[in-house]
Amino acid sequence: MKLIKILLYVLAPIAVFGLSTYLTISLTLKFQQTTICPDVRGKTVEEARELIKDKGLSLVVMRYERRNDVPYNHITVQKPDANISTKKGRVVYVIVSEGPELMKVPSFVGLTPEQAQLVLSEKHLVLEKTVMVPHEKAGKIIAQVPSSGSDILEYGRITFFVGSEIRYYYFMADTKNINYNELADELDAKRIRYRVNYARGDQAASRNGIEYSVLPRTIFSSTEEIVINIY
**Quick one: pLDDT at residue 23?**
55
* Secondary structure of 158-188 in HEC code, one letter for each residue: EEEEEEECCCCEEECCCHHHCCHHHHHHHHH
Residue 224's nearest CA partner among 162, 168, 186 is 168
pTM score, whole prediction: 0.49
Domain 104-164 grouped into CATH 3.30.10.20: yes
Domain ranges of the chain: 33-99, 104-164, 169-230
**Does residue 200 contact residue 209 with C-beta atoms inside 8 Å?**
no
**Does residue 186 contact residue 212 with C-beta atoms inside 8 Å?**
no
Give every residue of the chain whose pLDDT is below 50, as ranges.
29, 204-206
Domain 33-99 grouped into CATH 3.40.50.970: no
**Quick one: pLDDT at residue 214?**
87
Domain 33-99 and domain 104-164, same fold? Reply is: yes
